[in-house]
């Protein structure tokens, strides 16, 4: 008896302490939310015009085909009533036979209580019925342009994902079980995590995906040995130390996207493309872009080409003692490399011997999922924001890309962190994903308006550094790697732009997986394979149908292609030269900068 009283007292004390801690954290949360900087509302949701079009299409359908709408409603009501009756029977202890879940198992509902407990089973099945009804309603909308229908479908899916019962404490059995088992401690830790994230983002909410204390650049991430050998206002140029006695004569220069940081290519030795390239006998240089602040407001695409691409190419030539380089562009950096090669062709500059493009879009006629954010409602909001602030804060880009995979990158991490009270994992890829960069105001608008919206690299041409260029002006040998499930640069769109290049020598490789995993896919594990086809590049569908599948990474295949474009073997080069002193060890200083808001 005494033991029971003691345990109850201790439980009450812990519960009271947790309540007091919640009160303290709530005050911190309120204070953190008050720090939120006002921003253009257009960055948060599509414009009213899209809602108007969707409502007009729905009303039109209701008037022209009321029988179908009524049929859908009756079916929805019938399903809902059936679920309710079955729940009542189950609560009364009567045996109930329910339908098996259609389609693949939804991992959000993996807890056995979703099937065994009448309350949770009713909630799950009703949510699934609601989802089916909403998807059917969107699919049935007639009279919408394809782009508008795609946007309505996308934002409907956002609502569907947001309203999942797993996202709410009262309807999440995992969170409730954890709260009971820990006497509320999990909820206190979850609130601590929530306050931490709101404070870190100055009043906005962005879920921390990885333990920020688990990694240190140059120590256990981004560790391939090298040095910064050149620096200007746009970039640091990193040369990596050779690991072979001889190297190919023509050096390789990688331009990563400035939307993210370059060390995605150097997370750890086992999956570092940078280390692997060096180990294959190439002299490797990588650009690390400046993370801009408001002082970069006037920096545009011209600056990225002149002070970025052309400056880096010239420095690499000087250091390597060659008159040519091979270049790689990843994502947006590949798009800009296309424009740069067109400009060099117009100027008669033959400094680039061959070029490779990772997950690159040059034809934006069908930009895929990201296209829902490229209409005027969002772009107008971005333009208004950068006119005021001088740059686009990394928060908005990170949020946008996260919501392209909302369940994986928003809701599931939020549940683990805020409801279950778990600490973020020590995961290098997610650490990099949360280490974003800002975008200069002028460059951001130029890219969105002229390349994404107006598709000027295809027609009538993109104006850059005093010349008008298009994909047809790219004449050097080229290789492109696209990724089969890429949701940022869809492979068919990448193929469609690439096939229009003016080059006579074009090699296209399709890797399995997505935008990151398809590129960071080292040999050995054979997790993802790739496709090749030496035949004509008439259409993506025809190319894929005739392509051969190869198990394992595309890296060795690309190495063989690159070797044939890199000249004879010469003694390995030291870092820098008499005019290019070592300024800092890799990964440099720009990559670690976080501009003040």
Q: Catalytic residues, which ones?
A: 331
Q: Cα dihedral angle (293, 405, 430, 289), rounded to 10 degrees? A: -30
Query: Which residues partner with 354 through β-bridges?
Result: 326
Asked if the peptide bond before residue 587 counts as cis, ω within 30 degrees of 0, the response is yes
How many whole angstroms separate alpha carbon 249 and alpha carbon 321? 9
User: 566: which residues sit within 8 A by CB, 6+ positions away?
Assistant: 248, 249, 250, 252, 282, 326, 353
Sign of the alpha-carbon dihedral angle for 345, 349, 355, 358? negative
Report DSSP letters for 214-249, one per residue: S--BTTTBS---EEEEEE-SSEEEEEEPP-SSEEES
- Burial of residue 106 (number of CB atoms within 10 Å: 0-12, 13-18, 19+): middle
How many whole angstroms separate alpha carbon 385 and alpha carbon 375? 16
Locate the DSSP E strands across 387-434: 391-392
User: 153: which residues sit within 8 A by CB, 6+ positions away?
Assistant: 138, 139
How many whole angstroms separate alpha carbon 438 and alpha carbon 259? 7
Sign of the alpha-carbon dihedral angle for 454, 369, 147, 400? negative
Quote helix, strand, coil % in the chain, to nearest 5. Answer: 50, 15, 35
Looking at residue 356, what DSSP letter applies?
E
How many whole angstroms separate alpha carbon 506 and alpha carbon 536? 10
How many whole angstroms separate alpha carbon 314 and alpha carbon 319? 9
Q: Which of 514, 585, 590, 524 is nearest to 552 (CA)?
A: 524
How many whole angstroms separate alpha carbon 72 and alpha carbon 35? 46
Query: Which residues partner with 480 through β-bridges?
Result: 357, 508
User: 204: which residues sit within 8 A by CB, 6+ positions away?
Assistant: 36, 37, 198, 395
Q: Which of 322, 330, 329 is nearest to 351 (CA)?
A: 322
- Burial of residue 563 (number of CB atoms within 10 Å: 0-12, 13-18, 19+): middle
Q: Which of 486, 481, 483, 333 is nearest to 401 (CA)?
A: 486
**Exposure b/e, 184-221, CB count within 10 A at least 16 = b:** bbbbbbbbbbbbbbbeebeebbbbbbbeeeebebbeeb
User: 45: which residues sit within 8 A by CB, 6+ positions away?
Assistant: 155
């Amino acid at each position: 008896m005494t033991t029971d009283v003691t345990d109850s007292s201790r439980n009450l004390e812990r519960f009271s302490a947790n309540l007091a801690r919640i009160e303290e954290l709530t005050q911190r949360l309120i204070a953190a939310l008050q720090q939120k900087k006002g921003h253009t509302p257009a960055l948060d949701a599509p414009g009213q015009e899209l809602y108007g079009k969707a409502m007009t299409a729905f009303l039109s359908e209701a008037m022209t085909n009321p029988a179908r709408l009524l049929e859908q409603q009756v079916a929805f009501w019938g399903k809902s009533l059936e679920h309710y009756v079955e729940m009542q029977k189950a609560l009364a202890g009567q045996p109930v036979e329910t339908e098996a879940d259609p389609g693949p198992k939804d991992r959000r509902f993996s807890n056995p209580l979703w099937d065994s407990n009448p309350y949770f089973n009713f909630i799950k099945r009703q949510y699934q019925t609601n989802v089916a009804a909403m998807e059917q309603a969107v699919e049935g909308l007639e009279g919408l342009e394809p782009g508008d229908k795609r946007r309505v479908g996308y934002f409907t899916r956002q609502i569907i994902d947001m309203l999942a019962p797993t996202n709410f404490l009262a309807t999440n059995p995992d969170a409730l079980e954890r709260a009971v088992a820990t006497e509320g401690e999990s909820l206190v830790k979850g609130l601590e995590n929530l306050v931490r994230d709101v404070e870190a983002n100055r009043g906005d909410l962005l879920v921390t995906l990885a333990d920020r204390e688990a990694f240190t650049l140059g120590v256990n991430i981004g560790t391939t040995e090298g040095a910064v050998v050149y620096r200007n206002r746009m970039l640091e140029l990193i040369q990596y130390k050779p690991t072979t006695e001889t190297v190919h004569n023509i050096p390789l220069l990688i331009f990563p996207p400035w939307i993210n940081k370059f060390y995605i290519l150097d997370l750890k030795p086992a999956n570092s493309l940078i280390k692997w390239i060096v180990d294959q006998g190439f002299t490797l240089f990588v650009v690390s872009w400046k993370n801009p602040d408001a002082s970069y407001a006037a920096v545009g695409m011209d600056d990225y080409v002149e002070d970025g691409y052309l400056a880096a190419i010239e420095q690499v030539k000087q250091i390597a003692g060659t008159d040519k380089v091979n270049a790689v562009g990843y994502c947006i950096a590949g798009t800009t490399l296309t424009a740069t090669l067109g400009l060099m062709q117009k100027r008669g500059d033959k400094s680039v011997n061959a070029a490779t493009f990772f997950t690159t879009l040059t034809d934006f006629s069908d930009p895929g999922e990201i296209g829902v954010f490229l209409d005027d409602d969002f772009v107008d909001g971005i333009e208004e924001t950068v006119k005021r602030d001088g740059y686009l804060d990394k928060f908005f880009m990170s949020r946008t890309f996260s919501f392209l995979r909302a369940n994986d990158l928003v809701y599931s991490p939020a549940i683990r962190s805020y409801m279950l009270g778990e600490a973020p994992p020590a995961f290098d890829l997610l650490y990099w994903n949360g280490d974003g960069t800002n975008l200069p105001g002028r460059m951001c608008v130029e890219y969105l308006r002229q390349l994404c919206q107006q598709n000027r690299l295809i027609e009538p041409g993109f104006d850059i550094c005093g010349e008008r260029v298009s994909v047809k002006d790219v004449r050097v040998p080229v290789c492109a790697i696209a990724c089969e499930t890429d949701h940022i640069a869809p492979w068919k769109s990448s193929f469609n732009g690439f096939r229009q290049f003016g080059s006579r020598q074009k090699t296209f490789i399709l890797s399995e997986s997505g935008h990151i995993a398809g590129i960071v896919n080292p040999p050995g594990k054979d997790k993802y394979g790739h496709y090749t086809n030496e035949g004509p590049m008439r259409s993506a569908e025809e190319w894929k149908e005739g392509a051969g599948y190869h198990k394992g990474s595309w890296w060795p295949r690309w190495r063989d292609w690159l070797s044939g474009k890199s000249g004879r073997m010469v003694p390995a080069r030291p870092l820098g030269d008499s005019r290019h002193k070592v300024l800092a060890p890799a990964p440099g200083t720009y990559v670690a900068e976080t501009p003040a808001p």
